[in-house]
Amino acid sequence: MIDNETYKDIVRENKDRVFSHALYLLRCREDAEDATQEVFVRLWNHRNRIARRRVEAWIMRTAHNFCIDLLRKRQTCGSRMRRWPGADPDSFAIRMDCTANPEERYEFTRKQEALLSAMELLPEKTRSILLLHYFHGFKYKAIGEILGTKVGAVKVAVHRGRKALRRLLAESCLDNCGRRDHEEPMRQDQKRAGSLSG
């Protein structure tokens, strides 16, 4: 059983995690806010039936299933997936130290954007498992409870997903580096042409 004060503590400790998970899945800040509110309304309605030690897994399972149901309704209605409108990539991952300088913040955000873009190319189940494990810090057993998956399957998905992400990020780096190598001589030629015309 969860009393009023415990409920408030649970909301305070988990609301950001639920919101960031919903935001990643739904790609819409307003929908993520609605999903977060709905999850904690459901928690309140079921507070007498949930053991305190299992509440975090219950919350994330409810949030995940609610978002998946909403996505399926969107597809049924023929609506398109929305792509990060008004979303801050930092909402999806471990926060950076607020004392970091602008260069460090830029590099952190750039890496997070690259990681999120690469995750988009993975299967839905693998994305969800990696999100819960690396972004939210859940252990394999808890992820299995949240997604209704065996621990062994979670471990395999994390291993394969990590390998796939490394490959995708490496390919992205090669592509970007190649583009920069191609663009730099062009910029230098433009500068030389400008100085000659002046």
Quick: pLDDT tens for 94-121: 444 444 555 555 555 566 677 777 888 8
Residue 93 pLDDT exceeds 50: no
Section 14-18 average pLDDT: 92
Look at 98 and 9; give whichever has higher pLDDT.
9
Same domain? 194 vs 111: yes
Look at 12 and 74; give whichever has higher pLDDT.
12
* Domain at 181, CATH number: 1.10.10.10
What is the largest distance, in Å, between two alpha-carbon atoms of the chain? 79
Can you give the pTM of this predicted structure? 0.65
Same domain? 103 vs 157: yes
Range of the domain at 70: 1-87
Q: CA-CA distance, 96 to 167, in Å (whole number)?
A: 25
Same domain? 116 vs 135: yes
Same domain? 120 vs 171: yes
Confirm whether 93 is domain-assigned. no
Ramachandran bin of 138, using left for φ above 0, alpha for ψ from -120 to 50, beta for the remaining angles: beta
Look at 182 and 5; give whichever has higher pLDDT.
5
Residue 130 pLDDT exceeds 50: yes
* Domain at 23, CATH number: 1.10.1740.10
Same domain? 103 vs 82: no
- The count of structural domains within the chain is 2
Same domain? 82 vs 103: no
